[in-house]
Amino acid sequence: MQKIFAVSLAAVALSFAFVGCGPGEPTIATTNPTGKLGGAAWSLKKATIKRDGSSIDVKLFGDDVADCASTSDKGYIMFSMPATVGKRALKFSLNFSDPANQTVTFFTPPSNNNIATEGLLNLTELTDTSATLGLSVKSGADNEVNGTLTATLCK
């Protein structure tokens, strides 16, 4: 009986040791963003970042597009976020005035939008001329990207 009690007590103690342990915050790679878009291998070739007052609008392209492009017929990744240095977890809320509301959209032509609601954005530097940010985001098995980039801000 003592042996069963000791084993049970050890199991309970071990379970308390792991309470709160989970996947934790995503790790953002320091390399060029890569991943999958619509199930196909994807890597960043060009980024368009525009500052609009207190937010930035980001579009990430896997093909060569014109400077400051806003779209591509080959698909792209897009999001807006506050123009504030720091980490920002993805969160979806039907309350669109929720300041913590943050998603990333994977657009695959002709009209497929996959919305990532879990992951992390990290704006590490924002100047009058450029932005450096990292992201680790995923929407299902076919859409994910992880990496860090620096891009010139569009005028």
pLDDT of residue 145: 98
pLDDT of residue 64: 93
Residues with Cβ within 8 Å of 40's Cβ and at least 6 positions away in sequence, in order, are none
Per-residue model confidence as pLDDT tens digits over 30-52: 999 999 999 999 999 999 999 99
- Main-chain phi, psi angles of 11, to 5 degrees: -65, -40
41: enclosing H helix or E strand: strand 40-43
pLDDT of residue 23: 59
Global pTM reads 0.83
**Which amino acid, one-letter code, is at 110?**
P
pLDDT less than 50: residues of the chain:
1-22
pLDDT of residue 24: 80
**Which amino acid, one-letter code, is at 49?**
I
In terms of Cα–Cα distance, which of 114, 134, 115 is closest to 124? 134
